[in-house]
């Protein structure tokens, strides 16, 4: 499966993946009215700013080789750790990893997490960390299967009037 660094012209496709993934993965966790109101156009502006920034995070996109047109079906975003409590000089963060629901279970997400780890190693990080919603059993199982482990740290995220626990997962990036 082709994975490459995102380009500015990928912003709308990344935004569409972001919105569709949230709407499917977070059903039952966030209010349905909030999920239904997520707007690809608004998210496109956010991703244009991120992809156009000189010193922004590294964004990787997975494209569907079956589509013939390079359709973006997933993305990940990696950067130095920004969540506090860990050393950002040695710890990199998988700040986002989303795929469209129709590719769940096909290896696209695993390819993106592996490419994210490679990007973090290439940037000189020795450890990786990420946050995952405690109630997102699918994502927790996905990361655990890829060698990530919850380290006991818990943060709270308030979105759309609902406060949910996030669990910090970590893994060594190389022996």
The two structure tokens encoding residue 118: 């490679």
Q: What pLDDT is recorded for position 6? A: 96
Nearest to 17 by CA among 94, 104, 58, 75: 75
Q: What pLDDT is recorded for position 54? A: 80
Q: What pLDDT is recorded for position 65? A: 72
Q: What pLDDT is recorded for position 175? A: 64
Pairing of strands 162-172, 127-133: antiparallel
Spans of the chain below 70 pLDDT? 68, 175
Neighbours of 35 (CB within 10 A): 18
Nearest to 2 by CA among 128, 105, 107: 107
> For the whole model, what pTM was predicted?
0.94
Q: What pLDDT is recorded for position 66? A: 75
């Amino acid at each position: 499966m082709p994975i490459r660094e995102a380009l500015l012209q990928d912003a709308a496709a990344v935004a569409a993946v972001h919105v569709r993934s949230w709407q499917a993965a977070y059903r039952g966790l966030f209010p349905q009215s909030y999920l239904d109101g997520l707007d690809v156009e608004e998210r496109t502006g956010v991703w244009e700013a991120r992809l156009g920034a000189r010193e922004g995070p590294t964004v990787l996109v997975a494209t569907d080789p079956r589509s013939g047109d390079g359709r973006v079906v997933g993305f990940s975003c990696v950067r130095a750790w920004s969540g506090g409590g860990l050393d950002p000089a040695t710890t990199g963060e998988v700040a986002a990893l989303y795929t469209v629901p129709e590719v769940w279970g096909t290896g696209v997400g695993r390819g993106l997490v592996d490419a994210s780890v490679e990007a973090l190693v290439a940037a000189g990080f020795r450890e990786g960390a990420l946050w995952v919603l405690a109630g997102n059993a699918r994502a927790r199982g996905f990361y655990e299967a890829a060698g990530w482990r919850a380290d006991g740290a818990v943060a709270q995220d308030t979105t759309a009037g609902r406060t949910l626990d996030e669990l910090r997962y970590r893994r060594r990036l190389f022996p």
